[in-house]
Amino acid sequence: MGLSDDKDRIVINVGGIRHQTYRSTLRTLPGTRLSWLAEPDAPNHFDYDAKIGEFFFDRHPGVFAHILNYYRTGKLHCPADVCGPLYEEELAFWGIDETDVEPCCWMTYRQHREAEEALDSFGGGGLLDLVSDDAEPEPEHAADDDVDEMTRRLAQGDAHDARSGSLWSRWQKHVWALFEDPYSSKYARWVALASLFFIVVSITTFCLETHEAFNPIINRTEVKVVNNVTVVHTYQETETALYLTYIEGVCVVWFTFEFLMRITFCPNKCDFIRNALNIIDFVAILPFYLEVGLSGLSSQAAKDVLGFLRVVRFVRILRIFKLTRHFVGLRVLGHTLRASTNEFLLLIIFLALGVLIFATMIYYAERIGANPNDPRASEHTQFKNIPIGFWWAVVTMTTLGYGDMYPQTTSGMLVGALCALAGVLTIAMPVPVIVNNFGMYYSLAMAKQKLPKKKNRHIPRAPQPGSPNFCKSSTSSQHPSPIPHDDVFEIKFQDPKLNGEAANAALANEDCPHIDQAVSPEEIFSPSERERPCFLVTTSERPDHAGGRVRRALHKWRTAYVKYA
């Protein structure tokens, strides 16, 4: 019995830490990398040291301990001290489906991905690459690299055209960065400060135009000839101070120049047009030019249009949203509102239910004791109908209490008290979720902003002959593989065992780093090579665990083509 146990025992060295288990334990999840270690010919296909009798994997030893426990207990937990992306990569390497993570650890495991998705939506990731003002000065060539990277990030697409590589191509990215990213260079900071100055001046002018001191009343005289009779019509109208109009004109000239420069040097015109902030810029500029162009016309239609434009001057206040380009906190706030759509919808539903219920209750409660000769109770209560009670219910539930409407009967006061308490509870439930979202996004954005930029990112080189990760095969192939080179090795036709490295690529659904785009095996191999047999690597359903707990198997079928020698 002891000899049988020794034969069934297997030693796996992961990152210098030796782990011992039984081959029968590894077979509980067929189709995974560890299950193939239990096969008799595993030493021929993995890094195996025959002297000490152990397999070696240069992977994270701490994560592997949790993965090995998954084979033992059937429960996959996520360690709290391991970064989410690292744990995700380890699961892909060992061939474990992420959906097998236990519910208690699922939120912890998914938190990093949700944060990345949230931050990626800040203008194509621009927020993540902001450079802190406290950062050390960088050499010119490093700044050029930053501009290149920032331009590729903000372009959100290919901007290659006939002028690629020309003087235009070189200037385009620099000018685009100058007006789009305030953190790309010191000149971009000056442009951002100028834009911020004109925004503040424009909004200040807009507010001062409504003040009596800057909006005097002018007497106008209009002479009309009706049936050969001259009619003099005198009327009064307000006219904005002339110097405020000049100031607004200067601001509009700057905004027009900025808008034209950005749309001219934008690498992707379609994305630029669809951007909400760019639409706001155009809408805020257009009325000024229309008003200037129509001011010299005397036709009635022109006067009607001018009257309409004076009414829609309020669109100028939309320029306040341009500040989101310069303040990270405003961008985080805007994204928090978008990310908390479900919570806002829940809040609106709660308020709508409460308003409908309490408006109905206050209507009938206030009619108690009314004069029978007054069927509408107009002298007894202010709540003459239920729709009027909607306003009172909204004001009461939000704890504003304007005092324009209030209950006067005892029953009405009781309903008012219940309405106020219900409003506090209703608003208190979804608001903390929104606040937590803002706190999380803001802290992540600030941390990423203060993180120094990495100049030289480490890129592992391709496996060299003789290394443990090199493709083990008796023959070498001159054809590229659709699976990453370090995750593939050729197997012989007589070998029925699944290739662990190839399955890793299939489970991870990785693309080949050595080719520009994903291609099919038919596109890679020549017609003669395609006639050679290939092996279809898949993952299969796992049986019930010995402990009685049925776990969801590796349900996503993934495939990869593996050549035979």
Angle formed by the axes of helices 328-339 and 431-450, nearest 10°? 140
Q: Is the domain of 311 the same as that of 347?
A: no
Q: How are beta strands 54-57 and 9-14 bridged, if at all?
A: parallel
Question: Does residue 176 lie in a domain region?
Answer: no
Residue ranges, the chain, pLDDT below 50: 1, 123-147, 149-164, 463-565
Q: Is the domain of 294 the same as that of 380?
A: no
pLDDT attached to residue 6: 58
178 Cβ contact list (under 8 Å, min separation 6): 184, 185, 187, 188, 191
d(CA 142, CA 148): 10
Q: Which segments of 258-416 are extended strands (E)?
A: none
Q: Is the domain of 293 the same as that of 271?
A: yes
pLDDT attached to residue 392: 94
Give the CATH number of the domain where residue 387 resides. 1.10.287.70
Angle at Cα 148 formed by Cα 142 and Cα 154, nearest 5°?
135
pLDDT attached to residue 436: 86
pLDDT attached to residue 245: 86
Residue 26: name the closest of 51, 8, 46 by CA.
8
Q: Is the domain of 312 the same as that of 198?
A: yes
pLDDT attached to residue 563: 34
The tokens for 83 are 């970064």
Give the CATH number of the domain where residue 45 resides. 3.30.710.10
pLDDT attached to residue 374: 65
The C-alpha R_g of the chain, in whole angstroms, comes to: 35
Last residue of a domain, one of 450, 482, 514: 450
Long-range contacts of 233-239 (CB under 8 A, 24+ apart): 239/215
CB 143 within 8 A of CB 468: no
Q: Is the domain of 210 the same as that of 116?
A: no
Q: Which segments of 506-560 are extended strands (E)?
A: 534-536
CB 248 within 8 A of CB 289: no
Domain carrying residue 23: 2-120
Question: Does residue 144 lie in a domain region?
Answer: no
Last residue of a domain, one of 105, 120, 135: 120
Q: Is the domain of 197 the same as that of 321?
A: yes
Owner of token pair 């206040």: 317
Region class of 401: left (phi > 0), else alpha (psi between -120 and 50), else beta: left
3 state SS of 391: helix
Question: Does residue 553 lie in a domain region?
Answer: no
3 state SS of 508: helix
Q: Is the domain of 349 the same as that of 435?
A: yes
pLDDT attached to residue 159: 43
CB 381 within 8 A of CB 370: yes
pLDDT attached to residue 332: 82
